[in-house]
Amino acid sequence: MLFSTRAGYDFGPQLSDLNVAVGVKNIFNHQYFTRSFDDNNKGKYVGEPRTLYVQTSVAF
């Protein structure tokens, strides 16, 4: 089972509706595999490791 989290803040119309968020995907760095049935090799792929990210958006 994978756990991820994300927290963000909206600065409102004073700052062009600026949104800033931070998050962590795969918090416990669990190793997992995914399968693909859409390509020719139909193989297993290593899942994404723990990933930290920052996300921003702005309205204009």
The pLDDT of residue 59:
86
Output 5-14 pairs: Cβ under 8 A, ≥24 positions apart. 6/55, 8/55
The pLDDT of residue 55:
98
Q: Which residues pair with 33 in a beta bridge?
A: 46
Per-domain boundaries in the chain? 5-57
The pLDDT of residue 60:
80
Residue 14, phi then psi, degrees to nearest 5? -60, -30
Per-residue pLDDT of the chain (60 residues; tens, 9 = 90+): 999 999 999 999 888 899 999 999 999 999 998 887 766 666 788 899 999 999 999 988
